[in-house]
Amino acid sequence: MLELRAVSRYFGGVRAVDGLDFTVNQGEIVGLIGPNGSGKSTIVNLVAGLFPLTQGEIRFNQQPLEDIPVHQRLQLGIARTFQNIRLFGQLSVWQNLWVAQNSPEDRSRRGFFSRWLGGQTQVREEIAQLLEFSALGHKQSELAANLSFGEQRRLELARALAARPKLLLLDEPAAGMNAEEIGQLRQRILDLRARGITIVLIEHVMELVMGVTDRIAVLNFGQKIAEGTPAQVQNDPAVKKAYLGGA
Amino acid sequence: MLDFLQTLSDGVLFGATYALIGIGFTLVFGVMHKINMAYAAASIGGAYAGLLVLKALATAPAWMVFLGAFLAGGVLGWVVYAACFHFIPLSSPLAPLMSTVGMLLLIDEVIVHLTAGMPQNYPAMFDDVMLRAGAFTLRGDLLLVFGVSLLCMIGLLALLYRTRLGLATRAVSQQAVAAQLCGIRVARVNALTFVITGLLGGVAGAMIGASVGTLSPLITMPLTVKGLIVTVIGGLGSIPGAIIAGLLVGGLENVFQLYRGVTERDLYVMLLLFAFLVFRPGGLFSRT
Amino acid sequence: MDFYFGLGQLIGVHTLLGLSAYIVLLTGQVSLAQAAFFAVGAYAAAMLTVLTGWHIVPALGVGSFLGAVTACAVGFPALRVKGLMLVIATLAFGEGVRLLFFNFDYQVAKGDLKVGPLGGEGFRQIRFFPEHGWTTGEVMLFIWVFVGGVMALLWWFDRSRYGAVLRAVGEDELAAQSVGLSLTAVKVSAMTVGGAIAGLGGGLYAHYTTHIEHASFNILMATFAIAYPIVGGLRNVFGTLAAVLFVQAFLVEGLRGLGDWRNLLFGALIVLSMNLRPHGLFGRRGA
């Protein structure tokens, strides 16, 4: 589904991503781990279209993404969350989800006029589902800026889902969460896979990554140093040395 | 051809004042990431205040008036800081900008009222001096304008790059929070930036008055626009950019006037700005 | 009574000016060009009623349309210019338009008289209302029908998805793009709607003052345009209306107490209100 071929991204002298090959197949949950500065977030930003590639190619369902602007990549089915939460703080929870309904299905289902100028009634059910999924129903009128940290994280995820993605890039969704919240997140990720969404999970929280992914790629200094199942990666000596802690 | 060169050189010499105004805008932007829309008005206000020297001493020499303008500009700079930036939370995006616009209008109106709307004569120095090279002339007063402005620019660069205050200013412009954590009092640096740019502005206003011969509140708006154009063309935050852009705009403005007359001149300056915005929005020396 | 009707006309037209800046401000763009779109609408509508004898309503329609077109043309290059640079660019654009009208002559003979815009002297004899026997009160109501309509439209936008999208873009462009919103479409559309509103306001302005000139559409007017929504706050359209009432009431009262010094008040008022209530009279929505 997603293919990165010899992808490089340099920021001046810094090689954030260096000659990376990475593939994600449909229906997988793939983890991307590595020390800080290894290029994980840069990869998400490259796939999402925030920066151009210095070298290489990214393809989504065989289609090269190079000149496609950020907002159109969502039309193709790619959605992402942000490491530093970027919600629309001055909008309510409901509105945050509402403005994110930009997928091709939503566009074709309703006419232009009703989609932009119509009231809230038509989308009520769909947004209610999103709210239920992220347990935010009781806070739907609350301003996003007033939510607790955990609630904001859930809203970020729900907002990405509002776009009906086929591929979901999660950038450190568990950062700052306690054990209970991480357990709930794990369940939600599995639910999403059950709905047919392919997921790339960038994380530092090992219990989540090891517990929910089918496959993990390990990065260091912008390059892939290991790839395999969670068990394989955990025992790889190069990974241990770079990241997980030596013997 | 001679006309062209003459016009160009006169314009470039006068453009040094635009450079000072541009520096004022760009320095405040560089340090505080805000635009002080009242800057040109405060500069002209400082120039007017310099005239008070003549009220106190009717036979005072021109340089005393200029000095008065210089000092008054600094005071006004601090006043603008206090009214628009000290109390308003800087994180609020629109409020400081809007209040500087308010100050611009306020200063303009105060000048109009205190002078009953009448243009005031401004003293000049060396206005009878003409350096000639064949048919080409360098006006003495314009040379003074250029020279004084140049001195100020050198003084400013020395301040920024050779003093601790300058170092602190540059630190704040790059990372205000980190600077604060290092013990730099950001509010004081900001206030001093305003005072320093105010001093420069007072000189610029005085020089404008000196070379034109009169001061009128009608020039504050066009000067504001021109100063901002210079700042943008030079690159927001770049002092060398403002200097070069100021001289460029001064020279070109005069040339436009030579070929297309006064009424159309400003339109061409606008077009110059738009050309830059389209082809080089970062300006001559963009700070990325 | 006529005095109050005149004030009512002024407040109505200024509200339109403020609302034209309001919708653009929602997307995070600070535009000092609204006075320019206002001017375009003023000259266009006035030329149609005076030079070609049109009725005011279609003339206003054309004025509004031309304001929108101009704004749309500005909207695209404005995308390339970020933040404070946009303020400068729109300021320069506004001055450029003013200078164009300063140089604009188009006179037509009407009987013995020559009518039409005449460069620096401006455009006099815009006498549609007096010629058709409208009273001051009727003109005021006419203006307020439009103000009411525009406020209702913007109120509707605010409650619709479009309004939430405008504010989302204004708050965080990166996040907005990432959820699939086209910044170009949102920002240019807001600018265009703002231009339409300004053009409408300009047309009404030209007809109630009967005389327009380039100097009216200066930086001061551009400042009024953004001052109203900023001072009133961007929570909803009533903030802008309240700010117009607030400012104009002060200026009118100032006329009594301070006479000629009242213009001083506007600047001082802005500085004061920004210090006391930096997020507007009604403040922000939360936090």
Q: Where are the domains of chain C?
A: 2-218
Parallel, antiparallel or unpaired: strands A2-11 and A14-24: antiparallel
Which domain-ending residue is among A100, A134, A163?
A163
> In this complex, which of C162, C172, C287 lies closest to A116 when CB atoms are compared?
C162
Asked if residue B35 lies in contact with residue B25, where contact means CB atoms within 8 angstroms, the answer is yes
Q: Which residue of C has its CA nearest to A169?
A: C178
Joined together, the tokens standing for residue B75 give: 């005071």
Residues A73, A169 share a domain: yes
Asked if the model's pLDDT at residue A220 lies above 90, the reply is no
At B53, the amino acid letter reads: V
> In this complex, which of C25, C89, C274 lies closest to B99 when CB atoms are compared?
C274
Asked if residue C240 lies in contact with residue C22, where contact means CB atoms within 8 angstroms, the answer is yes
Q: What single-letter DSSP state applies at residue C260?
A: G
Which residues form the domain of A137? 88-163
**Backbone φ, ψ for residue C178 (5° rounding):** -70, -20
By the CB < 8 Å criterion, does C259 face chain B?
no
Per-residue pLDDT band at C192 (split at 50, 70, 90): very high
Round to whole Å and give the CA distance between B141 and B128: 8
| ipTM associated with this complex | 0.87
Per-residue pLDDT band at B109 (split at 50, 70, 90): confident
Cβ contacts from B onto C, under 8 A: 124
Which domain-ending residue is among A163, A192, A210?
A163
> Do the chains contact at B88 and C231, CB–CB below 8 Å?
no
The number of C-alpha atoms within 13 Å of C194 and in the hemisphere containing its C-beta is 35
Q: Residue C282, exposed/middle/buried by CB under 10 A (0-12, 13-18, 19+)?
A: middle
Residues A106, A219 share a domain: no
Nearest CA of chain B to the CA of C253: how many Å? 18
* Non-local CB neighbours of A86 within 8 Å, separated by 6+ positions: A156, C172, C174, C175, C178
Q: What would the mean pLDDT of B47-57 be, rounded to a whole number?
A: 85
Q: H-type helices in A49-144, by residue range? A: 70-76, 93-98, 104-109, 112-117, 124-133
pLDDT higher for C253 or A13?
A13
> Do the chains contact at B263 and C102, CB–CB below 8 Å?
yes
> In this complex, which of B107, B263, B281 lies closest to C85 when CB atoms are compared?
B281
Residue A83 counted as domain residue? no
Round to whole Å and give the CA distance between A216 and A40: 12
Asked if the model's pLDDT at residue C287 lies above 60, the reply is no
**Positive or negative torsion for Cα B30, C272, C197, C153:** positive
Residues A94, A56 share a domain: no
Residue numbers in C near B105 (CB within 8 A): 220, 223, 263, 266-267, 270
By the CB < 8 Å criterion, does C276 face chain A?
no
Chains B and A: 3 or more CB pairs within 8 Å of each other: no
Instruction: Quote the pLDDT of residue C285.
Output: 59
The number of C-alpha atoms within 13 Å of C64 and in the hemisphere containing its C-beta is 18
By the CB < 8 Å criterion, does C81 face chain B?
yes
Cβ contacts from A onto C, under 8 A: 86
By the CB < 8 Å criterion, does C113 face chain A?
no
Round to whole Å and give the CA distance between C248 and C266: 9
Asked if the model's pLDDT at residue C282 lies above 80, the reply is no
Joined together, the tokens standing for residue C184 give: 């170009």
**Which chains touch B (3+ CB pairs under 8 A)?**
C
> In this complex, which of A75, A91, A102 lies closest to C167 when CB atoms are compared?
A91
By the CB < 8 Å criterion, does C284 face chain A?
yes
Q: What would the mean pLDDT of A52-73 be, rounded to a whole number?
A: 89
Q: How much is the CA Rg of chain C, to the nearest whole Å?
A: 19
Residues A109, A13 share a domain: no
Give the percent of chain C with pLDDT over 70.
93
What three-state secondary structure class fits A80? strand
> Do the chains contact at C180 and A103, CB–CB below 8 Å?
yes
Nearest CA of chain C to the CA of A170: how many Å? 13
pLDDT higher for C33 or A238?
C33
> Do the chains contact at B95 and C91, CB–CB below 8 Å?
no
Instruction: Quote the pLDDT of residue C283.
Output: 65
The domain tally of chain A equals: 2
Q: What does the mean pLDDT of chain C come to?
A: 88
Round to whole Å and give the CA distance between B34 and A121: 42
At C137, the amino acid letter reads: G
> In this complex, which of B110, B264, B270 lies closest to C103 when CB atoms are compared?
B264
Residue numbers in C near A160 (CB within 8 A): 179
> Do the chains contact at A146 and C287, CB–CB below 8 Å?
yes
Q: What does the mean pLDDT of chain B come to?
A: 86
Could you tell me the residue ranges of all domains in chain B? 24-219
Residue A82 counted as domain residue? no
Q: How much is the CA Rg of chain B, to the nearest whole Å?
A: 19
Asked if residue B269 lies in contact with residue B256, where contact means CB atoms within 8 angstroms, the answer is yes
Round to whole Å and give the CA distance between A45 and A64: 16
* Non-local CB neighbours of A21 within 8 Å, separated by 6+ positions: A4, A5, A6, A7, A224
Round to whole Å and give the CA distance between B16 and A220: 53
Q: Which residue of C has its CA nearest to A160?
A: C179
Per-residue pLDDT band at B288 (split at 50, 70, 90): very low
Residue A188 counted as domain residue? yes
Residues A177, A150 share a domain: no
> Do the chains contact at C167 and A70, CB–CB below 8 Å?
no
First to last CA, chain C: 44
Which domain-ending residue is among A163, A194, A226?
A163
Q: Which of C112, C113, C114, C119 is nearest to C43 (CA)?
A: C119
Round to whole Å and give the CA distance between A70 and C254: 52
Residues A111, A136 share a domain: yes
Round to whole Å and give the CA distance between C60 and A227: 67
By the CB < 8 Å criterion, does B213 face chain C?
no
**Backbone φ, ψ for residue A80 (5° rounding):** -145, 160
> In this complex, which of C96, C223, C268 lies closest to B267 when CB atoms are compared?
C96
Joined together, the tokens standing for residue B7 give: 């016009």
Round to whole Å and give the CA distance between A105 and A126: 12
Give the percent of chain B with pLDDT over 70.
99
Asked if residue C180 lies in contact with residue A77, where contact means CB atoms within 8 angstroms, the answer is no
Chains C and B: 3 or more CB pairs within 8 Å of each other: yes
Instruction: Quote the pLDDT of residue C168.
Output: 95
Residues A184, A154 share a domain: no
Nearest CA of chain B to the CA of C265: how many Å? 8
Instruction: Quote the pLDDT of residue B173.
Output: 79
Per-residue pLDDT band at A238 (split at 50, 70, 90): confident
**Which chains touch C (3+ CB pairs under 8 A)?**
A, B
Residues A155, A174 share a domain: no
pLDDT in tens, B120-167: 888 877 777 777 777 777 777 788 888 888 888 888 888 888 888 888
Instruction: Quote the pLDDT of residue B250.
Output: 92
| Angle of helix C34-51 versus helix C56-78 axis, rounded to 10 | 150
Q: What single-letter DSSP state applies at residue A118?
A: S
Round to whole Å and give the CA distance between A74 and A159: 12
Instruction: Quote the pLDDT of residue C191.
Output: 95
Other Cβ atoms less than 10 A from the Cβ of B261: the count is 10
By the CB < 8 Å criterion, does A117 face chain C?
yes
pLDDT higher for A91 or C118?
A91
Residue A235 counted as domain residue? yes
The CA-based dihedral angle spanning residues C102, C108, C111, C112, taken in that order and rounded to the nearest 10 degrees = 50
Residue A171 counted as domain residue? yes
Instruction: Quote the pLDDT of residue C173.
Output: 92
Other Cβ atoms less than 10 A from the Cβ of B36: the count is 31
Alpha-carbon distances, residue B132 vs B1, B7, B141, B213, B271 (angstroms): 17, 14, 14, 22, 34
Residue A206 counted as domain residue? yes
What three-state secondary structure class fits A51? coil
Instruction: Quote the pLDDT of residue C207.
Output: 92
Per-residue pLDDT band at B258 (split at 50, 70, 90): confident
Q: Which residue of C has its CA nearest to A121?
A: C160
> In this complex, which of C92, C102, C266 lies closest to B270 when CB atoms are compared?
C92
Per-residue pLDDT band at B212 (split at 50, 70, 90): confident
Please spell the DSSP secondary structure of C48-74, one letter per residue.
HHHHS---HHHHHHHHHHHHHHHHHHH
At A107, the amino acid letter reads: R
By the CB < 8 Å criterion, does A118 face chain C?
yes
Suggest the residue from B33, B272, B277, B287 to mutate for an interface test with chain C (most C CBs closer than 10 A): B277
> Do the chains contact at A90 and C164, CB–CB below 8 Å?
no
pLDDT higher for C256 or A229?
A229
> In this complex, which of C157, C160, C286 lies closest to A143 when CB atoms are compared?
C286
Asked if the model's pLDDT at residue C177 lies above 60, the reply is yes
Give the percent of chain C with pLDDT over 90.
49
